[in-house]
Chain A
Amino acid sequence: MNKIDNIFDVAGRSMSAQLVRMNTIASNLANAGNVSGTEETAYRAMKPVFQTTYANQFEENGISTTEVAQIVQSDRKPERIYMPSHPLSDDDGFVYAAAVNVEEEFVEMLETNRQYQNNIEVISTIRALMMRTINMGK
């Protein structure tokens, strides 16, 4: 499981973590306008929890990467909207809108994008270095 021993593992795992984050953001945004009949069934934004994973020989090589420990639902309350004509509305005429903050999701999407790009940048730099090292002495 904990088999991280080069930069490709580091960046690769970090990129998959960012991808999970991107997936949750996409799900949150897709559900942003949804309403529900009860507060319990209303959609709540999903957030991944990142955690550092250390290589087995961390003290020797200092390699660590990140991975998603779990995905939690945000504790933001769904908004209660008075909409008596809505077919899903409860006895008092209220519906519950998904607890998603669209602006927040957009900012997170940009950040995720940046992190992903940074990892790609590292990989392409290291790859170029490795190619130059292989060709040493030629």
Chain B
Amino acid sequence: MNGIGEYLDVHSTALEVRARRNKILASNIANAATPHFKARDIDFQDEIRRAAGSSKSAVQATDTKHIQASLRGPTADLLYRDPVSASRDGNTVEMNVEQMEFSENVIRYQTSLTFLNNKISGLMSAIRGE
């Protein structure tokens, strides 16, 4: 018997990772003029895989004395962006790249949101039985 939470799992995880990535990209844009700032990003696929895998293959605590392993790793793998053309002041934020990544991320966030909405309305109509 799977709960409703599990039914929505993939998309809610995707939404979470997209939201985290939005924050990182916003930080890059905020630091576009700061010398020596290195643009950061996360690999969406890796993060999804980590979030999805951790709920299944996490270490099983078979004894009460076992230390519970945390299901979801708290830290994302923050990577550094490889600049197309680096600037002299050591800043690797390229406004065009960041803007493109940001808008792509926003669109994908909205996509996940739409999927969630569809799933929820499907559930609702199943519950109502209309």
Taking a contact as CB atoms under 8 Å apart, the answer to whether A62 and B31 are in contact is no
B10 surroundings in chain A (CB, below 8 A): none
Instruction: Name A residues whose Cβ lies closer than 8 Å to a Cβ of B.
Output: 6-7, 10-11, 13-14, 18, 21, 50-52, 59-66, 111-112, 114-115, 118-119, 122, 125-126, 129, 132-133, 136-137
Bound CA–CA A132/B22 (angstroms): 15
Complex Cα–Cα for A51 and B91 (A): 11
Could you list 16 A-B pairs, sorted by A, with CB under 8 Å? A10-B26, A11-B29, A13-B30, A14-B31, A52-B34, A64-B40, A65-B30, A65-B31, A66-B31, A66-B33, A66-B37, A114-B95, A118-B29, A133-B113, A136-B113, A137-B124
Once bound together, how far apart are the Cα atoms of A133 and B112, in whole Å? 10
Q: Does B106 interact with chain A (Cβ within 8 Å)?
A: yes
Task: Name the distance in Å between A65's Cβ and chain B's nearest Cβ.
Answer: 5
Which of under 10, 10 to 19, 20 to 34, or 35 or more describes the interface residues of B? Answer: 35 or more
Residues from chain A with Cβ under 8 Å of B34 in the complex: 50-52, 66
Q: Is the CB of B109 within 8 A of A129?
A: yes
Contact segment of B53-61, B63-71, B74-82: B74-82
Most buried by A among B30, B33, B113, B124: B30
* Pair B40/A62 contact, Cβ less than 8 Å: yes
**Pairwise interchain contact A6-B23, C-beta atoms closer than 8 A:** yes
- By a CB distance below 8 angstroms, the chain B residues around A11 are 26, 29-30
| Whole-angstrom distance between the Cβ of B33 and the nearest chain A Cβ | 5
Distance in Å from the Cβ of B95 to the closest Cβ of chain A? Answer: 7
Q: How many A-B residue pairs have CB under 8 A?
A: 96
Identity of the chain B residue whose Cβ is nearest the Cβ of A7 in the assembled complex: B26
Main secondary structure of the interface of B (DSSP, over half): helix
B27 contacts chain A at the CB level, 8 A cutoff: yes
CB neighbours (8 Å) of B24 from chain A are 61-63
- Decide if A64 touches B31 in the complex (CB within 8 Å): yes
In the complex formed, the residue of B with least CB distance to A15 is B30
Given A52-B37, A129-B110, check contact A62 B30 (CB 8 Å): no
What are the 8 closest A-B residue pairs judged by CB atoms, nearest first?
A14-B30, A62-B24, A137-B120, A50-B34, A64-B27, A66-B34, A7-B26, A65-B30
Assembled-state Cα–Cα distance A61/B21 (Å): 9
Is B27 a contact partner of A63 (Cβ separation < 8 A)? yes
